[in-house]
Structure 1
Amino acid sequence: MNTRPGVCARKRRFSSEAEAIAVALKAEITLRPYRCQLCRDYHLTSRTKGMKSLPR
């Protein structure tokens, strides 16, 4: 996922995928983590359209 610099700056950053998943599981909506190509940390997104499914 390509994140624009302005979007990256506004999003919460997680240093690990596990930390991002823990927060996503507590959310009222479905969220999934992804690794940002700009900051190399993890962000959360609710976007699913056009996304490749992640192996579990």
Structure 2
Amino acid sequence: MRTRPAICARKRRYASEAEAVAVALAAKVTLRPYRCALCRQYHLTSRTKGMKVLRP
């Protein structure tokens, strides 16, 4: 998944995958962390089609 610079700038950044996973599991909607190719940090996405979904 390629993140555009404008999207990356708007999204919240997480320094570690563990931090992003904790936030994703606490959310009321299904979220999945991914490493951004631009900032090299982690963002969350709700897009899960064909992706591995986190299980609590």
Tell me which interval the TM-score lies in, with the shorter structure as reference length.
Answer: 0.7 to 0.9
Partner residue in 2 for 1:53: 52
Which structure 1 residue ranges, 5 or more long, are not aligned? none
Aligned length: 53
Query: Where in structure 1 do 4 or more consecutive aligned residues deviate above 4 Å?
Result: none
- Residues 1:22 and 1:37: Cα distance change in structure 2 (over 3 Å): same
Q: TM-score, normalised by structure 1?
A: 0.86
Residues 8-47 of structure 1 aligned to structure 2 (within 5 Å): 8-47=8-47
Q: CA RMSD in A?
A: 1.4
Unaligned runs of 5+ in 2: none
Following TM superposition, by how much is the alpha carbon of 1:40 offset from its aligned partner in structure 2, in angstroms?
Answer: 0.2
Is the partner of 1:15 in helix, strand or coil?
A: coil
Using the aligned pairs only, state the percent identity: 72
